[in-house]
Amino acid sequence: MSNAADLVLPPRPLRWLYLDLNSYFASVEQQLQPELRGKPIIVAPVDSDTTVAIAASVEAKRYGISTGTPVWEAKRLCRELLITPARHDRYVEFHDAVIEEVWRHIPVAHVCSIDEVACRLLDNENDRDGAVALARRIKAGIRAHVGDCLTSSVGIAPNRLLAKLASDLQKPDGLIVLSAEMLPHALFGLKLREIAGIGAKMERRLAQDGINDIRQLCARRPRDAGTAWGGTNGDRLWYLLHGVDLPDKPTQSRTIGHSHVLSPRQRGAEPARLTARRLTLKAASRLRRKGYRARLLVLHARFETNKAKWQGSVRLPATQDSFVILDALDALFPRLLDAAKAQGGGFQVRMIGVTLSEIAPTDGEQGSLFGLLDPNDPLARETRGLALSRAMDSLNERFGRHAVSVGPMTGGRLDRVGTKIAFGRIPEAAEFHE
């Protein structure tokens, strides 16, 4: 019976350069605010000890502070800590400038997140010395033309997964090459959880099959490793860890949504309801801009008293109409009120979020036949509602966020529900007008 060592693999030249900006949000703030440079800082969504850091500077990380650290704990770990509010629109501006600078040196194959890009190396630039020189030019170009506070770590490897892993091996300001002759043994010091796609559940599944580290996974034959992984194409990871450059599997957007952590004084029923409406309008606007329709609305929340989670959903007709979706939200919200009463202690919601699910493209959509029906006909109302929703999108993009809106924008000071960045998704410029 053959084992993994007997397999003959194809040539595995250096094909990918992966760039990861170090402490990105915090570095942008240090670039914009010179008085913060060289100091431990965190970026936080609001000025409150009850929230968490969404980014920590290199200096703050030396104290054990990282993304997700509660602000109160970060202050305890570092008495000199400085806190600055997040400015997501500026982070997108710097992101665009970084992408433009990388393009001056090499085409960008994938924008992987707000602070990570992957570039495919051509045959005339993938020898080790040439690839390293290219990486150094890119790193220097970013610091010279975008901001000298923006350092980056670069990984170079035969495939994108390995290049990503290499970029994580030396931070900040690192440059690591993983060539074919170094694989897979150069990875044996890493933990399984450091590989994208392996979480706690998959780690337990692999352990049940006798795989507790990368060495044991790579020692299996590809098919056996795939059986332990489970699912279709389970052997992909084995080949990737050995440096084979496999084509990407196609992906498709399945949900569009937003969530918001409410400030301590805005965790009652009415502020939560109004915040959910704003989040719904933002999600519906994105849905239209991407050319999708949704069939399911999901409302989710986390309670303050015991941190318990709640989720409810309601079916939608295939729609991208803000008015139809808001009507569904109004029908769904009382279920959250009932769940909150069952918790006891009054209505106190820490986080609220809205997700549009079961989305599909509107390709081939025809104009409505119902626009000239009686104004009170439901089909006519939906046609006009969608047209009005699109008109609102245009007005808000031209004149600024909330130039026009649906429903109340008053009733006391509410949290600002602006566009925020998930590290895996870069907002479009239009989202900052929603």
pLDDT per position as a tens digit, 109-138: 999 999 999 999 988 888 999 999 999 999
Using alpha carbons, list the distances in angstroms from residue 356 to 21, 228, 273, 287, 314: 31, 34, 17, 8, 10
Backbone angles phi, psi at 312, to 5 degrees: -140, 160
Distance between CA atoms of residues 219 and 201, nearest Å = 21
Q: Is 164 helix (H, G, I), strand (E, B) or coil?
A: helix
Chain position carrying tokens 């239209």: 288
Per the residue annotation, which of 59, 101, 116, 304 is the catalytic one? 116
The predicted-structure confidence for 2-33, as pLDDT tens digits, reads as follows 455 567 788 899 999 999 999 999 999 999 99
**Strongest mean pLDDT among 50-54, 252-256, 272-276:** 272-276
When pLDDT is cut at 50, 70 and 90, the band that residue 47 belongs to is confident
Span 418-427, pLDDT tens digits: 555 554 556 5
Amino acid at 132: V
Residue 29 falls in the annotated catalytic set: no
pLDDT above 70: percentage of residues in the chain: 80
Length of the chain: 434
Residue 404, token pair as written in the block: 């026009």
DSSP 3-state of 181: helix
Domains 1-182 and 255-433 fall in the same CATH topology: no
User: What is the domain class of 255-433 according to CATH?
Assistant: alpha beta
Tokens of 111: 């924008």
Indicate the domain borders of the chain.
1-182, 192-251, 255-433
Per-residue tokens: 327: 């009507």
401 vs 290, more confident: 290
Give the other-Cβ count within 10 Å of 225's Cβ: 24
CATH homologous superfamily of 1-182: Reverse transcriptase/Diguanylate cyclase domain (3.30.70.270)
Rounded CA-CA distance 213/7 in Å is: 21
| Dihedral sign, Cα of residue 196, residue 201, residue 205, residue 207 | positive
Question: C-alpha distances in angstroms, 231 versus 40, 200, 249, 254?
Answer: 44, 17, 14, 20
Show the tokens assigned to 74.
């970060």
> How far apart are alpha carbons 181 and 40 in whole angstroms?
40
DSSP code string of 350-412: EEEEEEEES-EE-TTPPPPS-TTS-TTSHHHHHHHHHHHHHHHHHHHHHH-TTSS-SS---SS
Query: What's the predicted TM-score (pTM) here?
Result: 0.69
Max Cα separation, the chain?
A: 76
pLDDT at 332 (0 to 100): 94
Burial class (CB in 10 A: 0-12, 13-18, 19+), 391: exposed
